[in-house]
Amino acid sequence: MASIDENNYAWFKKNLSDLLKEYAGQFIVVYEQSMRGAYSSFEAALAGALEFAKPGEFLIQRCVSEEESTQVICSLIKMPQLV
């Protein structure tokens, strides 16, 4: 069984070419395998995502081509100021 992160990332990768047309360079919030917002910074994306989901339930991914991308995996296991 795939994890929430794996499912959301798979959705992001599948839709990357379409997302790049409108959201290139922005930080995309993916929740339940759909885009829930696009933000100019990671911090803004995190704040936006936490308005409707708990840490670990969403993915934040920078919308850049595969050639430009670097993968950073962060897991919010326990951050008292956010939970």
Per-residue pLDDT tens, the chain, 83 aa: give them: 667 789 999 999 999 999 999 999 999 999 999 999 999 999 999 999 999 999 989 999 999 987 776 544 444 444 455 54
Q: Give the H or E element holding residue 38.
A: strand 34-39
Neighbours of 35 (CB within 10 A): 19
SS3 73: coil
What are the φ/ψ torsions at residue 52 (nearest 5 degrees)? -130, -5
DSSP 57: S
Q: What is the pTM of this model?
A: 0.78
